[in-house]
């Protein structure tokens, strides 16, 4: 199964579980599909030490909403915004400088 442009899929058994970008992009992104149509997350890692980084990426989650549930930057204490994907699964996902964000799919 394709996860969209910019993702490389890794299958565990016959079930696609994890996908990640080809490295070394900045920011680096990974997604986990969840199981039985439940859950799923997007992880963003930003190696830039000065500014927030993010960009549009096509996920495996069309028309989905995401909430940042874990995040941290080296010195920036800002909170990432909730994100949503369109009908094709495209969304913008961001991380703080020298930091990360974990976005969990919400019902």
pLDDT at 80: 96
* Domains of the chain and CATH, by start: 8-106 (2.60.40.1180)
CB atoms within 10 A of CB 39: 11
Distance of CA 22 to the CA centre of its chain: 13
What pLDDT score was predicted for residue 24? 52
Taking Cα atoms as reference points, which of 98, 84, 86 lies closest to residue 42?
84
Give, for all 107 residues of the chain, the pLDDT tens digit: 344 444 444 444 444 444 444 445 678 888 888 877 778 899 999 999 999 999 888 888 999 999 999 999 999 999 999 999 999 999 999 999 999 999 999 98
């Amino acid at each position: 199964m394709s996860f969209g442009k910019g993702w490389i899929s890794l299958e565990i058994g016959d079930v696609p579980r994890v996908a990640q970008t080809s490295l070394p992009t900045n920011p680096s992104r990974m997604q986990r599909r969840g199981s039985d149509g439940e859950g799923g997350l997007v992880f963003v890692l930003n190696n830039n030490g000065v500014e927030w980084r993010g960009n549009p990426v096509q996920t495996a989650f069309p028309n989905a909403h995401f909430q940042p549930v874990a995040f941290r930057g080296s010195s920036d204490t800002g909170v990432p915004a909730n994100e949503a994907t369109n009908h094709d699964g495209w969304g913008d996902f961001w991380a703080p400088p020298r930091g990360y964000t974990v976005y969990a799919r919400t019902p």
